[in-house]
Amino acid sequence: MPEFDRQAAFSGTKEVAPSLAFDVARLAEYLAPRLAGCAAIIAVRQFKGGQSNPTYLIETPVRRYVLRRKPPGKLLPSAHAIDREFRLISALTAQDFPVPHPYLYCEEASVIGTPFYVMAHVEGRVFWEPHMPEAPAAERAALYEAMNATLARLHSYDPAALGLADFGRGENYMARQVERWGKQYHASETERIDDMERLLAWLPAHLPPAGPVRLVHGDYRLDNIIVAPTASKVAAVLDWELATLGDPLADLTYHLMAWDMPRAEDGVGFGTLVGRDLAALGIPTRAAYVDAYVARTGLDPRPHLATYLAYNFFRLAAILQGIGGRLRDGTAVSENAAGMARMVRPLAARAWQFAEEAGAR
């Protein structure tokens, strides 16, 4: 079987899925007095990537915009809170942090069927494979350094100074995440997975000591980053749906999963560095990448790294089970949803391996 081409499968746009279409004329009517050049919309396309909140490219005679909306249909509690995304990227824009410029938020479902927001279209590249197969080694090394520095910068902010002191509860973040995603997992459950049940029993009593409360992205990885067109620079960090206040080391170690990500049998899943010659590629080892983050922030996950990774592989498995639930309910956004849902079991197995490394029996 040829290797699944994630770059081709997830890059760019496609025709809007019929279940996610909306009245373009009604949108133009709403945007015309509120946003420059939107009296006429030339085309609307749906981005291929993304599994949760449908995202569209809006082309006007003046410029391109990106519209992100809450999906239609039955949704899990607290999921798809795009109003929070808009609030956060607005605060980060004021700090000149690399995010798309937010233009407006609309909570009126009458316009396109669900609430949405509009942000700038950022020119650049998205690498869907963490080994960046088309890039030279020097570019890989520089971009991994830039990713590390960008995440460290996010974790350096005092949320209160950004007007985000109430953006989440912050304290006991990992314990609340385990509880939240355990509930979401069971709400979306399509089959019993013993490793998930073991993790739900073991994790609450074995979490690392809480770190300082910081802004956390919640889904920070290479394919949620737009890279500048001609430089190894982070032009924009995308997909802030899971962002909140919490433990920055939990956020970092989510990002580290690429070094240990199970390879999907059919290729649909997440990119992985497993089995790659990192030295030849110019990509740092996981340990070196952690060392660079520690040097930048003074925050150190190393004493509890296996537990952090067990937690994050569990959390990702629960998130993907949500896709499985939407597939069951007929509200899945992506044509690759079935492949993503099949990753739940191998992710749970990898999580339990890390739990055993941390002492679970």
Query: pLDDT tens-digit profile of 241-252?
Result: 989 999 999 999
**pLDDT, tens digit, for every residue of 217-237?**
999 999 999 999 999 999 999
Are 205 and 343 found together in one domain? yes
Residue 190 pLDDT more than 70?
A: yes
CB 253 within 8 A of CB 157: no
Higher pLDDT, 37 or 317: 317
Are 141 and 285 found together in one domain? yes
Overall average pLDDT of the 101-112 stretch: 96
**pLDDT, tens digit, for every residue of 111-154?**
999 999 999 999 999 999 999 998 999 999 999 999 999 999 99
Q: Which helix (H) or strand (E) holds 81?
A: none
pTM of the model: 0.92
Q: Which helix (H) or strand (E) holds 13?
A: strand 13-14
Predicted local confidence at residue 75, as pLDDT: 55
From its phi and psi, is residue 69 left (phi > 0), alpha (psi between -120 and 50) or beta?
beta
Domain assignment present for residue 112? The answer is yes
Are 236 and 167 found together in one domain? yes
Domain assignment present for residue 129? The answer is no
Where a domain ends, among 120, 147, 175? 120
φ/ψ (deg, to 5) at 358 = -85, 0
Overall average pLDDT of the 253-264 stretch: 94
Domain assignment present for residue 126? The answer is no
Domain assignment present for residue 69? The answer is yes
CATH number assigned to the domain comprising residue 237: 3.90.1200.10
Predicted local confidence at residue 341, as pLDDT: 77
Measuring CA to CA, which residue among 188, 218, 159 is closest to residue 321? 188
Q: Which two tokens stand for residue 152?
A: 């460290």
Predicted local confidence at residue 3, as pLDDT: 64
CATH number assigned to the domain comprising residue 53: 3.30.200.20
How many domains is the chain partitioned into structurally? 2
Handedness of CA 307, 164, 33, 109 (dihedral sign): positive
Domain assignment present for residue 47? The answer is yes
Under the banding of pLDDT at 50, 70 and 90, the label for residue 6 is confident
Q: Which two tokens stand for residue 122?
A: 């950022």
Domain assignment present for residue 1? The answer is no
Higher pLDDT, 71 or 323: 71
Measuring CA to CA, which residue among 341, 315, 66 is closest to residue 184? 315
Q: Which two tokens stand for residue 216?
A: 């956390």
The alpha helices in 230-343, defined as continuous H runs, are 248-255, 278-281, 286-297, 305-329, 337-341
Predicted local confidence at residue 74, as pLDDT: 61
Predicted local confidence at residue 332, as pLDDT: 62
Angstrom CA distances, 86 to 81, 101, 103, 173, 241, stand at 9, 10, 9, 22, 9
Measuring CA to CA, which residue among 305, 327, 283 is closest to residue 148? 283
Where a domain ends, among 120, 148, 168? 120
Predicted local confidence at residue 189, as pLDDT: 86
* C-alpha–C-alpha distance, residues 344 and 278, integer Å: 26
Handedness of CA 27, 29, 30, 34 (dihedral sign): positive
Residues 6+ apart with CB under 8 A from 205: none
Where a domain ends, among 120, 153, 178? 120
Residue 76 pLDDT more than 60?
A: no
Strand-pairing partners, residue 125, are 227
To the nearest whole number, what is the mean pLDDT of the chain? 91
* C-alpha–C-alpha distance, residues 14 and 56, integer Å: 9
Are 116 and 141 found together in one domain? no
Domain assignment present for residue 130? The answer is no
Under the banding of pLDDT at 50, 70 and 90, the label for residue 1 is very low
The rounded Cα 332 to chain-centroid distance in angstroms is: 16
Are 111 and 162 found together in one domain? no
Under the banding of pLDDT at 50, 70 and 90, the label for residue 155 is very high
**pLDDT, tens digit, for every residue of 77-101?**
555 689 999 999 999 999 999 999 9
Are 116 and 144 found together in one domain? no
Are 255 and 334 found together in one domain? yes
Are 206 and 283 found together in one domain? yes
* C-alpha–C-alpha distance, residues 125 and 235, integer Å: 9
Are 339 and 210 found together in one domain? yes
Residues 6+ apart with CB under 8 A from 12: 47, 48
Residues 6+ apart with CB under 8 A from 43: 57, 58, 59
* Domain enclosing residue 190, as ranges: 137-357
Angstrom CA distances, 22 to 61, 330, 336, stand at 20, 18, 22
Predicted local confidence at residue 336, as pLDDT: 65
**How do 102-106 and 116-120 pair as beta strands?**
antiparallel
Are 88 and 148 found together in one domain? no
Domain assignment present for residue 132? The answer is no
Single-letter code of the amino acid located at 170: G
Q: Is 117 helix (H, G, I), strand (E, B) or coil?
A: strand
Are 75 and 193 found together in one domain? no
Predicted local confidence at residue 268, as pLDDT: 63
**pLDDT, tens digit, for every residue of 267-311?**
567 889 999 999 999 999 999 999 999 999 999 999 999 999 999
Residue 164 pLDDT more than 80?
A: yes
Predicted local confidence at residue 111, as pLDDT: 96
Are 107 and 142 found together in one domain? no
